[in-house]
């Protein structure tokens, strides 16, 4: 389905719902990662539906079916692209509230989606009952500043839509260099080879971000790692951090723990973390994913009963 946003941009929107709408327990809003799309969350969404939840997820700008052409993949917006993505998530949240005004909304953000969810929680945390952060990280702010500068240089020389193989090499390319297997460029996402192969074949996955999109993502990361901003997250917002111990995005758990510690320092009252021993980045697609599914479901059920 399509949702027309505030600036008339049509966002591709997925909605999975139980056939029996009488006993819906709550809503889950999924925020997907970079260089992928919401359709990849079908299995997890169907699991949630079977357990009585409605699931919404939009393809970000520059992603999936929201991108109107191949050239649009990996490009957010001409101005303030990161904030545009965050506001799109807010729009979907408002749509959900309109559809189901009396049901709690839980947000699940994966990878870049977890960064968006963290930004969202700072600004609009009172609109959700809880947030699950999958494959997240607390990045080094000095390195982020450097990354923003490099992106700016490429933008000034080549323009917003230039795709820098060098920036990609320093970021996504670096992830794969950190794993032992190099069967494909994307081994870092998952141990399950079938998932990796499907990702590689998917035309809506694995493309190179434009220099502008890289800059915007780095800006977003710089914002959410600022402790002054972290402290603006509602103290009573339940947060669950989940990651694979072999996830190179989170430096094998170290940067996930750092994120947890920052939230703890900021005074978040209901905070949990779990690292999965043999999993890489995409824990919702990984070998043993059912354990992750059940953990998330249990956490949501627990927080349905908390006022």
Taking only the tens place, the pLDDT of each residue in 165-211 is: 999 999 999 999 999 878 999 999 999 999 999 999 999 999 999 99
User: Residues for the chain: how many in total?
Assistant: 307
Using CA atoms, how far apart are residues 216 and 80, in angstroms rounded to an integer?
Answer: 7
pLDDT surpassing 70 at residue 240: yes
pLDDT value, residue 22? 85
48-104 tens-digit pLDDT:
999 999 999 999 999 999 999 999 999 999 999 999 999 999 999 999 999 999 999
pLDDT value, residue 181? 74
Q: Average pLDDT for residues 6-13, to the nearest whole number?
A: 93
pLDDT surpassing 80 at residue 305: no
User: What are the C-alpha distances in Å from 291 to residues 180, 276, 294, 295?
Assistant: 24, 9, 5, 6
**DSSP classification of residue 134:** E
β-pairing, 53-58 vs 10-16, is antiparallel
- CA 304 to chain centroid, in Å, comes to 22
- The pTM score is 0.97
Q: Which domains does the chain have, with CATH numbers?
A: 2-138+229-304 (3.40.50.1820)
32-48 tens-digit pLDDT:
999 999 999 999 999 99
């Amino acid at each position: 389905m399509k949702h027309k946003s505030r600036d008339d941009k049509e966002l591709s929107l997925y909605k999975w719902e139980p056939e029996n709408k009488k006993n819906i327990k709550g809503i889950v809003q999924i925020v997907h990662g970079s260089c992928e799309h919401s359709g990849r969350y079908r299995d997890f969404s169907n699991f949630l539906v079977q357990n009585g939840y409605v699931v919404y997820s939009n393809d970000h700008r520059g992603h999936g079916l929201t991108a109107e052409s191949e050239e649009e993949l990996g490009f957010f917006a001409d101005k303030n692209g990161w904030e545009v993505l965050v506001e799109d998530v807010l729009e979907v949240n408002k749509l959900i509230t309109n559809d189901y005004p009396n049901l709690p909304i839980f947000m699940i953000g994966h990878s870049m989606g977890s960064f968006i969810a963290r930004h969202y929680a700072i600004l609009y945390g009172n609109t959700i009952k809880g947030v699950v952060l999958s494959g997240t990280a607390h990045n080094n702010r000095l390195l982020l500043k450097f990354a923003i500068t490099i992106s700016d240089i490429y933008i000034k020389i080549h323009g917003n839509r230039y795709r820098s193989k060098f920036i990609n090499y320093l970021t996504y390319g670096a992830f794969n260099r950190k794993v032992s297997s190099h069967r494909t460029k994307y081994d870092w996402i998952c141990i399950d080879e079938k998932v990796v192969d499907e990702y590689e074949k998917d035309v809506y996955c694995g493309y190179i971000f434009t220099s502008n999109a890289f800059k915007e993502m780095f800006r977003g990361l710089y914002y959410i790692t600022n402790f002054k901003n972290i402290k603006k997250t509602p103290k009573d917002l339940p947060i669950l951090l989940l990651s694979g111990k072999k996830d190179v995005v989170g430096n094998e758990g170290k940067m996930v723990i750092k994120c947890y510690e920052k939230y703890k320092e900021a005074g978040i009252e209901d905070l949990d973390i779990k690292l999965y021993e043999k999993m890489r980045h995409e824990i919702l697609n990984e070998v043993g994913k059912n354990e992750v599914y059940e953990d998330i479901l249990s956490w949501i059920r627990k927080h349905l009963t908390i006022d």
